[in-house]
Amino acid sequence: MNETNAAGTAAPVGDPARDSSVSGDAAHSVEGAPFTEGAPLGATVTVEVPASSGNVGPGFDSLGLALGHYDTVRVTRIAGGLEFDLTGEGADAIPRTPDQLVLRAMQAAYDAAGAGELPPVRLEAHNAIPHGRGMGSSASAVVAGVLAANALLPARSRLSPDEVLQVCSRLEGHPDNVAPTLTGGLTVSWEEAGHFHSTPVEVHPDVVPVVAVPDFEVATAVARGLLPDSVAHRTAAVNAGRAALLVAAVGGRPELLLPATFDLLHQPYRAQAMAPSAALVQALREQGHAALISGAGPTVLTLANGQEEAGRAAAAVREIVDDAASPAHSHQGEPVGWRVLTLHVPREGAKVSVSTQ
């Protein structure tokens, strides 16, 4: 199952012979000497994993963008049982059982490698990525778990970058969040004959993401359930053109971000589940900002052309949501609290470090 190098032996994680930007090879970096025969007691793997935005603009289920906002997961081999130290966003609601998502992802990686049961571990996680907001929190947990497990495995059993992408995508159901989480930047992903593929697009340095995160959640399943079974051919054609334009805009023509982020395929149908977010997107776009719903929402992502425009976009968000007369101000009769963050698009995805200390 594992790819081999020219000598016929399994190449370790991070081997340049296996890390590639071509379709399906989700590269990631590993610091520290990899464990050759599996991790000894006391060995620790730390994964710093970025947030992400899926469905970017017109790129439904295909375009994903890494966001410079990070969870940190640390896994330590222990003698027996499971131990937890979970802090940050959503920590109180996270189960302290083998059903915890990072642990499920770790076991999935062990299953894919034919390595049996996950050994006893202590899981420490500090979550900065909001849950249920369309910033890829579940994808980040999945990626962190798969990469941590992969680093614990003996070198001969370790999954290739493509196998990592397959395991992560199957757990998430699609690759548009896990791919940028693995590689950084913008990614274009697709499925062919049951196999997931992704290729990165270099992001122009002037593209600056500004996120407005509301204090209410929208379940991805609810948002997806609002989508129609079919759309008009004209709608599909418009979206295909704008998705192609978005790749060009993010890659080298950020002045085109406003028309490139226009969408007819998913955001209009989901608006009823996140009326304040939809209202904020509309108001920002009317002011000339390239605003969109991040993932399945309800976070609003604005792609600004440079830091100066990012500052104007952040100020515009605050002005709109502070206006009591704005539909973005309240949700179900209660005022909405919004957090506004100016981020960056990381050029690298999840980072893994290993230690025996």
| Residues placed in the known binding site for ATP | 130-140
What is the C-alpha separation between 283 and 329, in angstroms, rounded?
Answer: 12
* C-alpha 50, offset from chain centre: 7
Distances (CA, A) of 112 to 74, 108, 118, 198, 235: 21, 6, 12, 19, 40
Neighbours of 251 (CB within 10 A): 15
Helices H / strands E in the chain, number of each: 10, 14
* C-alpha 325, offset from chain centre: 34
What is the C-alpha separation between 301 and 341, in angstroms, rounded?
Answer: 10
DSSP 4: B
What is the C-alpha separation between 284 and 182, in angstroms, rounded?
Answer: 30
Quick one: which of 301, 34, 12 has its CA closest to 152? 34
Binding site per annotation, positions:
130-140
